[in-house]
């Protein structure tokens, strides 16, 4: 019962996510106006993917941080599964950021990569969470792997602001974009563009939520499959032990 | 009283302990079983070194492993490794642990005396034979006179005389209310002074003879 | 608890003394660290076009950088790598005879185990620097003038954070199947702020600045913040990396 319920909720979430993605694609490509050539012209539309992906990645790492703390406190596997699922997605979305950035930057800045503050801190964050994913694969025991990864998940997030400050002082040239508090800051974006941007932001967030729920469910099913398998092995042994007991008592 | 309820320990896909239920009364418990029967795993769980995959273990009503420093101070554990440093002498090792447990240094010499380590006290642990290393590990476990003593194969690599010194040390440590769990694969060495016996096979308890059952058997 | 026994500090100190004594007898951590650092310093000398002229700019693809920046970067890369090589061995002595089990069972807070490992590591890295920095000065003709003490304090501040992260992650790496490999993968990204701050400050000192400008205080602040945060994090999280 519980199973089909959660499946149905997932279905609704998926439908909502893909609807939002479709709407945002229409807004991005047909409603938002082409930017000035100084901002990349048509290529500027990459911004509608780049920034939401970055937002989702950092949201994912915040979830990793909170579920890691919860896992260390409660020892409940579900938190660990959530942390791992979120970290995997965070790494994928941040990779998307690191790929879309240079595609835009090459014609606009004239270089694929700049050692700018945001680029650098994004790269450093990405490397940290790649390390997080490594840890699990290098341990045989799931619980131990989870505990070690949780430590990295906590350290990783705590370090983001320090990395950011240090590289910011070091150098910066990244354009600062609009925020909900100040939607038109430094951007030259009008209403259609802002509509496209915030729809895309919502679409990415929903898409992330759906993927996260799917991935976490997969993790729980893996655990369940292991439990069932161990139950079968344990049952076989029980029979062997019953026989052995008869030998001992006779 | 140690209460073990539905204890299971899995290492990946290997089952080390499989739904173990046990109640161990104070006294000396002999833990028997072949290699890989789960003896070492059970001792490590009792020592709080290994969190169970599922199930609960309590000692005197408090869960093992989460009851903190005060509980740890009352447990003594000697595993397969001696738990000592190879480049420190026996005495230096024991003095380090005496500091950690807040035990007077004179106690170090007493323990070494009981276990027949006195003459080798300034030998580096790395230069000891396997048997002497074992005894040094037992000395470390007994140093702070724990109320729960966990010994994993303390007689391995020991000749009769050395074994006798270990048995003597355990018997002189013994006191009302104290519990020892001693794992060996052969019952010979500790038969005379165990109060109860547990036999493990492939991670399960196949026999548990309590003190009453043992004395009833002796009368038959 | 027994009355009159040593407290947290006394027990932790006993662990520090133990590790130092073990290193004095085995000499298997510090000498390799120093040898590694020295070898790297000599190799780096071959990549510098003309040593002795610190104001000469070095041309690199993206433009040019003062030689002092390059040298400061070399110095700290060498320190980080030498440190990580040494820190990877932190838990070797605890594994040999399962001594870690004895420590975990002892009535001492886990943070005591952390400091008991971090303080010897700090000592090792300070000793490596005490040899490496003068070696750099000689090999590359750096005249620090009166700023030796300032450089030492920069190094010490950087070391505190470096050692906190290195010790925590070496405990973590010791639980995995590829200890030596995973430590730098985990530690280097986290150490970026320490590295940048140390390089910027060291470069200024190499260039003859006295670090009086207000702008430089920010870098000290970053080092101090990093130290405080990671010493705290290490002490709190250490227990989850040992078990």
Helix (H), strand (E), coil (C) string for chain A: CHHHHHHHHHHHHHHHHHHHHHHHHHHHHHHCCCCCHHHCHHHHHHHHHHHHHHHHHHHHHHHHHHHHHHHHHHCCHHHHHHHHHHHHHHHHHHHHHHHHHHHHHHHHHCCCCCCCHHHHHHHHHHHHHHHHHHHHHCCCCHHHHHHHHHHHHHHHHHHHHHHHHHHHHHCCCCCCCCCCCCCCCCCCCCHHHHHHHHHHHHHHHHHHHHHHHHHHHHHHHHHHHHHHHHHHHHHHHHHHHHHHHHHHHC
Query: What distance lies between CA B107 and its chain's CA centroid?
Result: 19
* Burial readout A142-151 (b: 16 or more C-beta within 10 A, e: otherwise): bbbbbbbbbb
A135, C182: Cβ pair inside 8 Å? yes
Please indicate if any CB of chain A lies within 8 Å of the CB of B52. Answer: no
Chains that touch A (3 or more CB pairs under 8 A): B, C
Which ipTM was obtained for this model?
0.91
Please indicate if any CB of chain A lies within 8 Å of the CB of B19. Answer: yes
> Which pLDDT belongs to residue A250?
53
pLDDT tens for each residue of chain B, 220 residues long: 899 999 999 887 788 998 899 999 999 999 999 888 899 999 999 999 998 988 999 999 899 877 788 899 999 999 989 999 999 999 999 999 999 999 999 999 999 999 989 899 999 999 999 989 999 999 999 999 999 999 999 998 888 888 889 999 999 999 999 999 999 877 777 877 888 999 998 889 988 887 777 777 766 5
Query: Nearest-CA distance from A66 to chain B in Å?
Result: 23
pLDDT (tens digit, 9 = 90+) per residue, C156-171?
999 999 999 999 999 9
A141, B12: Cβ pair inside 8 Å? yes
Q: Which of B112-116, B166-170, C52-56, C113-117 has the lowest mean pLDDT?
A: C52-56
Q: Which of B55, B197, B204 would you mutate first to test chain A, the one with the most A CBs within 10 A?
A: B204
Please indicate if any CB of chain A lies within 8 Å of the CB of B207. Answer: yes
- Residue A249: pLDDT band by 50, 70, 90 thresholds? low
Distance CA(A199)–CA(A190), nearest Å, equals 14
Instruction: Assign 3-class secondary structure to chain B.
Output: CEEEEEEEEEECCEEEEEEEEEEECCEEEEEECCCCCCHHHHHHHHCCCCCCCEEEEEECCEECCCCHHHHHCCEEEECCCCCCCCCCEHHHHHHHHHHHHCCCHHHHHHHHHHCCCHHHCCCEHHHCCHHHHHHHHHHHHHCCCCCEEEEECCCCCCCHHHHHHHHHHHHHHCCCCCEEEEEECCCCCCHHHCCEEEEEECCEEEEEECHHHHHHHHHC
Cβ–Cβ under 8 Å, residues C158 and C194: yes
Chains that touch C (3 or more CB pairs under 8 A): A, B
* Cα–Cα distance list, A47 to A52, A101, B5, B192 (Å): 8, 8, 58, 80
The answer to whether the pTM exceeds 0.80 is: yes
C196, A170: Cβ pair inside 8 Å? yes
Query: Nearest-CA distance from C10 to chain B in Å?
Result: 8
Terminal CA-CA length for chain A = 47
> Which pLDDT belongs to residue B200?
92
Question: Measured between CB atoms, which of A125, A152, A170 is closest to C186?
Answer: A152
* Residues of chain A with a CB closer than 8 angstroms to some CB in chain C: 72, 120, 124-125, 127-128, 130-131, 134-135, 138-140, 144, 147-148, 150-152, 154-156, 158-159, 162-163, 165-167, 169-170
Q: Which residues of B touch C109 (CB under 8 A)?
A: 69
Question: Measured between CB atoms, which of A140, A238, A240 is closest to B12?
Answer: A140
> Does pLDDT of A173 surpass 50?
no
> Does pLDDT of A181 surpass 50?
no
State whether residue C145 is helix, strand or coil: coil
Distance CA(B83)–CA(B94), nearest Å, equals 11
Of chain B residues 172-191, which have a CB less than 8 A from chain A?
A: none
Distance CA(A152)–CA(A135), nearest Å, equals 9
C21, B80: Cβ pair inside 8 Å? no
Please indicate if any CB of chain A lies within 8 Å of the CB of B6. Answer: no
Pairing label, strands B204-209, B62-63: unpaired
Question: Measured between CB atoms, which of C18, C25, C97 is closest to B82?
Answer: C97
pLDDT (tens digit, 9 = 90+) per residue, A6-16?
778 888 999 99
Chains that touch B (3 or more CB pairs under 8 A): A, C
> Which pLDDT belongs to residue C112?
95
- Residue C59: pLDDT band by 50, 70, 90 thresholds? low
> Does pLDDT of A183 surpass 50?
no
> Which pLDDT belongs to residue C60?
55
Query: Nearest-CA distance from B106 to chain C in Å?
Result: 14
C14, B96: Cβ pair inside 8 Å? yes
How many helices (H) and strands (E) in chain C?
A: 10, 2
Query: Nearest-CA distance from A95 to chain C in Å?
Result: 16
> Which pLDDT belongs to residue C129?
97
> Which pLDDT belongs to residue B22?
93
pLDDT (tens digit, 9 = 90+) per residue, A123-158?
999 999 999 999 988 887 888 899 999 999 999 999
> Which pLDDT belongs to residue B75?
95
Q: Which residue would you say has higher pLDDT here, B211 or C25?
A: C25
State whether residue C2 is helix, strand or coil: coil
Query: Nearest-CA distance from B136 to chain A in Å?
Result: 30
For range C212-219, the mean pLDDT: 70
Residue A114 in tokens = 């700049």
Q: Which residues of A touch B11 (CB under 8 A)?
A: 140-141
B100, C243: Cβ pair inside 8 Å? no
Q: Which of A219-228, C40-49, C69-78, C193-202 has the lowest mean pLDDT?
A: C40-49
Q: Which of B69, B94, B97, B100 would you mutate first to test chain C, the one with the most C CBs within 10 A?
A: B100
Q: Which residues of B touch A234 (CB under 8 A)?
A: 8, 15, 18-19
> Which pLDDT belongs to residue B220?
59
Distance CA(B90)–CA(B121), nearest Å, equals 5
> Does pLDDT of C4 surpass 70?
no
Cβ–Cβ under 8 Å, residues B117 and B46: no
> Which pLDDT belongs to residue C57?
61
> Which pLDDT belongs to residue B71?
92
For range C185-197, the mean pLDDT: 94
Please indicate if any CB of chain A lies within 8 Å of the CB of B123. Answer: no
Q: Which of C169, C176, C152 is nearest to C230 (CA)?
A: C169
């Amino acid at each position: 019962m519980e199973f089909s319920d959660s499946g149905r909720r997932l279905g609704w979430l998926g439908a909502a996510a893909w609807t939002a993605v479709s709407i945002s694609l229409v807004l991005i490509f047909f409603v938002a106006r082409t930017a000035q050539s100084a901002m990349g012209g048509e290529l500027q539309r990459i911004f509608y993917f780049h920034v939401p992906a970055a937002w989702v990645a950092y949201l994912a790492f915040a979830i990793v941080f909170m579920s890691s703390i919860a896992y260390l406190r409660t020892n409940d596997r579900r938190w660990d599964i959530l942390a791992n699922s979120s970290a995997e997605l965070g790494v994928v979305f941040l990779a998307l950021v690191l790929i879309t950035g240079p595609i835009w930057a090459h014609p606009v800045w004239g270089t694929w990569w700049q050692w700018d503050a945001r680029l650098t801190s994004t790269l450093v964050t990405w490397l940290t969470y790649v390390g997080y994913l490594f840890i699990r694969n290098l341990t045989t025991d799931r619980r131990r792997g989870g505990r070690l990864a949780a430590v990295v998940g906590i350290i990783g997030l705590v370090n983001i602001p320090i990395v950011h400050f240090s590289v910011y002082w070091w150098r910066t040239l990244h354009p600062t974009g609009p925020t909900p508090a100040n939607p038109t800051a430094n951007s030259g974006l009008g209403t259609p563009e802002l509509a496209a941007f915030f729809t895309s932001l919502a679409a990415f967030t929903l898409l992330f939520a759906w993927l996260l729920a799917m991935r976490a469910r997969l993790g729980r099913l893996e655990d369940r499959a292991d439990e069932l398998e161990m139950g079968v092995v344990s049952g076989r042994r029980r029979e062997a032990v019953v026989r052995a007991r008869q030998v001992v008592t006779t | 009283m140690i209460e073990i309820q539905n204890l299971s320990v899995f290492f990946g896909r290997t089952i080390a302990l499989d739904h173990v239920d046990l109640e161990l009364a104070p006294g000396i418990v002999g833990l028997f079983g072949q290699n890989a029967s789960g003896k070492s795993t059970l001792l490590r769980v009792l020592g709080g070194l290994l969190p169970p995959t599922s199930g609960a273990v309590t000692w005197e009503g408090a869960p093992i492993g989460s009851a903190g420093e005060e509980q740890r101070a009352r447990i003594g554990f000697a595993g397969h490794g001696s738990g000592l440093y190879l480049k420190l002498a026996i005495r230096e090792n024991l003095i380090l642990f005496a500091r950690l447990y807040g035990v007077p240094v004179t106690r170090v010499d007493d323990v070494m005396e009981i276990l027949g380590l006195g003459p080798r006290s300034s030998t580096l642990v790395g230069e000891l034979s396997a048997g002497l290393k074992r005894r040094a590990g037992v000395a470390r476990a007994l140093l702070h006179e724990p109320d729960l003593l966990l010994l994993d194969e303390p007689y391995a690599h020991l000749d009769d005389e050395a074994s006798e010194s270990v048995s003597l040390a355990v018997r002189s440590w013994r006191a009302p209310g104290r519990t020892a769990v001693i794992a060996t694969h052969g019952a010979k060495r500790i038969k005379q002074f165990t109060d109860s016996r547990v036999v493990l096979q492939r991670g399960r308890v196949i026999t548990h003879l309590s003190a009453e059952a043992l004395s009833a058997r002796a009368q038959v | 608890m027994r009355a009159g026994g040593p407290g947290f500090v006394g027990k932790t100190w006993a662990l520090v003394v133990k590790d130092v004594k073990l290193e004095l007898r085995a000499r298997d951590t510090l000498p390799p660290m120093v040898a590694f650092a020295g070898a790297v310093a000599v190799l780096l000398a071959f990549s510098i076009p003309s040593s002795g002229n610190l104001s000469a700019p070095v041309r690199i693809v993206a433009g040019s950088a003062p030689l002092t920046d390059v040298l400061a970067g070399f110095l700290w890369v060498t320190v980080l790598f030498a440190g990580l090589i040494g820190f990877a061995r932190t838990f070797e002595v605890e594994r040999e005879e399962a001594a870690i089990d004895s420590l975990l069972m002892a009535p001492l807070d886990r943070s005591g185990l952390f400091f008991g490992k971090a303080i010897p590591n700090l000592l090792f890295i300070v000793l490596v620097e005490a040899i490496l920095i003068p070696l750099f000065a000689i090999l590359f003709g750096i005249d620090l003038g009166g700023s030796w003490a300032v450089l030492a304090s920069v190094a010490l501040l950087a070391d505190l954070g470096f050692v906190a992260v290195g010790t925590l992650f070496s405990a973590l790496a010791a639980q995995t199947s590829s200890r030596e490999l995973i430590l730098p993968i985990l530690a280097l990204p986290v150490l970026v702020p320490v590295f940048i701050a140390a390089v910027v400050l060291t470069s200024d000192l190499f260039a003859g600045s006295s670090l009086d400008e207000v702008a430089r205080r920010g870098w000290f602040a970053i080092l101090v913040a990093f130290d405080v945060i990671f010493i705290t994090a290490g002490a709190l999280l250490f227990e989850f990396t040992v078990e």
